[in-house]
Structure 1
Amino acid sequence: MHITRSKSLFEKAKNFIPGGVNSPVRAFRAVGGDPIFIKKADGAFIYDEDDNEFIELINSWGPMILGHNHPMIKEAVIKAMENGTSFGAPTAREIEIAELITNMVPSVEKIRMVNSGTEATMSAIRVARGFTGKDKFIKMEGHYHGHGDSFLISAGSGAITMGAPDSPGVTKGTAKDTLLAPYNDLQAIENLVAANKNEIAAIILEPVPGNMGLVLPKERYLEGLRKICDREGIVLIFDEVMTGFRLAKGGAQELFGVTPDMTTLGKIIGGGLPVGAYGGKKEIMEHVSPAGPVYQAGTLSGNPIAMAAGLTMLQYLNSHPETYLELNQIGSKLITGISNSLSKLGLKYTINHIGSMYSLFFTDKEVFDFTSAKNSDTSLFGKYFQAMLKRGIYLAPSQFESLFLSIALTDDLIAKIIQANEESLKEIL
């Protein structure tokens, strides 16, 4: 594998772009080496600037459920572009996709389109505050809700300590209203609620977090959060930017049978184009301007090209429920093969897996929150990543990112991934 052009592009990029990349994880710092610059993608494959071919298991961090460059999505985009790329005005297609989403997602009665997951989560918190008249909110350690100031918060000392800024540029004033709790710990939530009685507007979490690696909710955890929020008048927000329309037509909330008050969405609703959205109960969403007093706007929100791609994707998923069975079967085949190799070689490992998402942790301990995820062997993961890359398998360049599968993965490709996995494990031992 030659990566001459990627190396030269990275050196050039560092002269004009901070760190040479437009999103930090792309820099490969967590796994070593230099990033691969991608030229094109098709189906289950991506191709770099040196024309190397990779089977990839990221799928643009989730949205490419049908594989890359799907002809149906491409056709919808090209057709929409014939009428123009942006209007900054309402279009009929915005109504179509809004109606479809409200039919598919249990919690969403009304929805507002934005341009990114970060916009969606920032707006959802603002609306929850406006609806409840309260200022504070609870987020979980290791859950990523975009780069809004109030989300970039690390833990203080103890379960009921207010957060401290986790990034320069985030003020202490912003941090004081963000409360932090470990994921999968209902007692920590109870403690925070008791210590901040009648001050908490919302609890926001990824119901199935994918930004500390994939971690699954413990039994009755999501139900427990729902009960606390009902009792205390707190808005429960599920960040389903990753899991929405991927784990089921109605996302994780459908799969686990727990309905939040608000939901944030992204990725898949753009069919691969930049889109985000937030929605929820009618009485909450009626607080959003111009219907209500909570201001939120966006010139490119509901962009016609993105709406065309997203509507085509969602219409397909809604009319082909067998897609989820296929995704689950692909995930099960792949995980079974990878697990067999790990066990045969005697490696300590944990695989967290649900449907078409999974993470491999090099630890024999259960991974159920951010602390347990950080206890895995990240150095070994970096070696594993490079060994897989050398064999033409492109993984997420971080231990703390979930992998995402697509229906473009055939049995032959799954077999190649399993073989590359075993060869890579033998190499790094």
Structure 2
Amino acid sequence: MNYQRSSQLFVEAAKVIPGGVNSPVRAFKAVGGTPIFVKEAKGAYLFDEDGNRYIDYINSWGPMLLGHAFEPVVNAVIEKAKKGTSFGTPTALETEIAALAVSMVPNVDKIRFVNSGTEACMSAVRLARGYTKRDKIIKFSGCYHGHSDSFLIAAGSGLSTFGVPNSPGVTSGTAKDTLLAKYNDIANVKELFAANRNEIAAIIIEPVAGNMGCIPPKDGFLKALREVCTENGALLIFDEVMTGFRLAKGGAQELFGVKADIICFGKVIGGGLPVGAFAGRKEIMDYLAPLGPVYQAGTLSGNPLAMAAGYEMLKSINNDSELFNRLEEKTAYLEKGLHAELSKHSIAYTINRVGSMISVHFDPNPVYDFQTAANGDNETFKKFFHGLLKEGVYIAPSAYETWFITDALSYEDLDFTIAAAGRVAEIL
């Protein structure tokens, strides 16, 4: 494929944008080479500035559950834009999408809309701290909850050690209130609670991890987290920015039958526009201003364009009783095909999948946390990524990101992808 135009654009972008991108993973630093610059997208496909077409398995990192340029969403945004793009006042549409979201998600009474998943998670933690009157939180190594200071933390040795920042600009004062746990290790979590009695406000977790590749929770792990939070008076926060409205209408809570206290949303809930939200039971959500003492605000929160896009997306999901069956069947078909092709060539790999989230790890051993995800052969992944790109298949340019499946994919697209993976596997 020819990438001349993309290469030129990247050079120009690097002059005025740090690293040439507005989000680091887009720069292809983890895989090498020059990022493609996308000109447009439709359905299951991306089209770059050089005229190349790709079958898309990123789907804007999750939002495009029903495909790019989904007509009901596009039309809703166009019509709403004609009436004004931002008012800074309440609108009836905000109530309509809030009521719809609350009706779809179990265990929530109220929801507040913000502008990103980062903002949703940041606000959820502040609310949990205000509600419990405690300062510390537990997060899990390898789980990403946005770039708020509290989440950019690594831990020192020892289970009760205070966290230390792993990004310059994050203060040690902020870091000391974040405790790092091992994903899928309930014993580790219990030890942190024992070492910090009556100090932990909340656990925040991706119920299905997507930022160390797709990593499912072990059987009983989420239920055990619910129990330990209840026993210790802490809140359980599900970061469903990825899983919300993707794994089921009611997200991971519905899929796994576990109730969280606060749920964070993003991606799908905005229909492709910048939207985040966090939701919970009335007694918790009413702790927010203007009813309660925990302050949270945003000039563009509830923006009419974003609300219009999100409302049409949620309505389409809610009205399609077979959507999640189709997504399950398509992703299972892809998984089976990838297994068949990769196993032909004696490649060391494992595939993790939950619903329409899937990832290939180039390690034959089970991948169940950040440590095991890090054992993957990154050099093989780089070759796999670039091989697929040349074939016209676009996956995440990082071994630590899940693939997202869209319902717009046809079985012909899936067969093409599987065959392309087989051709690439021959040269790995």
Q: TM-score, normalised by structure 2?
A: 0.99
Residue number in structure 1 paired with 2:217: 217
**Deviation (angstroms), 1:354:** 1.1
Alpha-carbon distance in 2 for matches of 1:87, 1:34: 40
- How far 1:347 moved relative to its partner? 1.1
Structure 1 residue 94: Cα displacement: 0.4
2 CA distance for matches of 1:325 and 1:245?
13
Compute the displacement of 1:161 (Å). 1.3
Aligned to 2:91: 91
> Aligned to 1:138, what secondary structure does the other structure show?
strand
Distance 1:159 1:321, change over 3 A: farther
Partner of 1:207: 207
| Counterpart in the other structure of 1:314 | 314
* 1:343-362 superposed matches below 5 A: 343-362=343-362
Q: Which residue of 2 aligns with 1:389?
A: 389
Alignment of 1:221-370 (within 5 A): 221-370=221-370
Which AA in structure 1 matches 2:122? M
Q: Say which SS state the counterpart of residue 207 (structure 2) adopts.
A: coil
Report the AA paired with residue 377 of structure 2. D
> How far is 1:343 from its partner?
1.2
Amino acid at match of 2:353: H
Measured in 2, the distance between the counterparts of 1:414 and 1:110 equals 39
- Residue in 1 aligned with 2:26? 26
What percentage of aligned pairs have identical amino acids? 57
Task: Say if 1:107 and 1:262, in contact at 8 Å, map to a contact too.
Answer: no
- CA shift, 1:71, in A, is 1.1
Asked whether the equivalents of residues 59 and 406 of structure 1 are also in contact (C-alpha less than 8 Å), the reply is yes
Deviation track 1:355-394 (CA, whole Å, cap 9, x = no partner) reads 1110100000100000000001011101100000000000
Deviation at residue 176 of structure 1 after TM alignment: 0.3
- Paired residues in the alignment total 428
* 1:174-204 Cα distance to aligned partner (Å, 9 max, x none): 0000000000000111100000000000000
Superposed displacement of residue 158, structure 1: 1.9
Equivalent in the alignment of 1:124: 124
SS at match of 2:54: strand
User: Which runs of 5 or more structure 2 residues have no equivalent in the other structure?
Assistant: none
Residue 82 of structure 1 pairs with residue 50 of structure 2:
no
- Residue 274 of structure 2 aligns to which amino acid in structure 1? P
Shift in Å at residue 209 of structure 1? Answer: 0.6
RMSD of equivalent CA atoms: 0.6
SS of 1:14 mapped into structure 2: helix
SS of residue paired to 1:41: strand
Does structure 1 residue 423 correspond to structure 2 residue 423?
A: yes
Cα distance in structure 2, aligned partners of 1:69 and 1:362: 33
| Structure 1 residue 239, shift from structure 2 partner | 0.1
- 1:76–1:312 CA contact under 8 A, matched in 2: yes
Paired AA for residue 241 in structure 1? V
Instruction: State the alpha-carbon separation in 1 of the partners of residues 161 and 220 from structure 2.
Output: 25
The residue aligned with 1:41 is 41
- Separation in structure 2 between the aligned mates of residue 25 and residue 427 of structure 1, nearest angstrom: 25
Tell me how far apart the structure 2 counterparts of residues 425 and 29 of structure 1 sit (CA, whole Å): 22
Question: Are 1:4 and 2:1 counterparts?
Answer: no
Report how far residue 282 of structure 1 moved: 0.8
Q: Does 1:404 align with 2:404?
A: yes
- What do residues 310-350 of structure 1 show as CA deviations (whole Å, max 9, x unaligned)? 00010111111210000001001111001001111111111
Shift of 1:107: 2.7
Q: Separation in 2 of the partners of 1:46 and 1:413? A: 13
Q: Counterparts of 1:72 and 1:284 in 2: how far apart (Å)?
A: 34
Residues in 2 aligned to 1:107 and 1:205: alpha-carbon distance in whole angstroms:
17
Task: Tell me by how many angstroms 1:162 deviates.
Answer: 1.3
Per the alignment, in what secondary structure is the counterpart of residue 86 of structure 2?
coil
| In 2: Cα distance, 1:346 partner to 1:354 partner | 25
> In 2, distance between residues paired with 1:108 and 1:210?
23
Secondary structure at the aligned position of 1:60 is classed as coil
Give the aligned residue type for 1:266: G
Deviation at 1:109, TM superposition (A): 1.1
Distance 2:26 2:19 in 1: 10
| Structure 2 SS opposite 1:15 | helix
Give the SS at the match of 1:427. Answer: coil
Distance of 1:82 and 1:280 partners within structure 2: 34
Give yes or no for the alignment of 1:57 onto 2:93: no
TM-superposition CA deviations, 1:202-249 (whole Å, max 9, x none): 000000010011001001000000000111110100000000000000
SS across alignment from 1:352: strand
In structure 2, the partner of 1:196 is 196
CA-CA distance at 1:159 after TM superposition: 2.1
Instruction: State the distance in 1 between where 2:380 and 2:160 align.
Output: 35
Give the letter for the 1:10 counterpart. Answer: F
Unaligned runs of 5+ in 1: none
Q: Secondary structure at the match of 1:399?
A: coil
Q: Is 1:181 aligned to residue 144 of structure 2?
A: no
Q: Offset of 1:408 from its aligned partner? A: 1.0
Q: Aligned partner of 2:40: which letter? A: K
Instruction: Give 3-state SS (helix, strand or coil) of 1:253's partner.
Output: helix
Q: TM-score, normalised by structure 1?
A: 0.99
Which residue is equivalent to 1:144?
Answer: 144
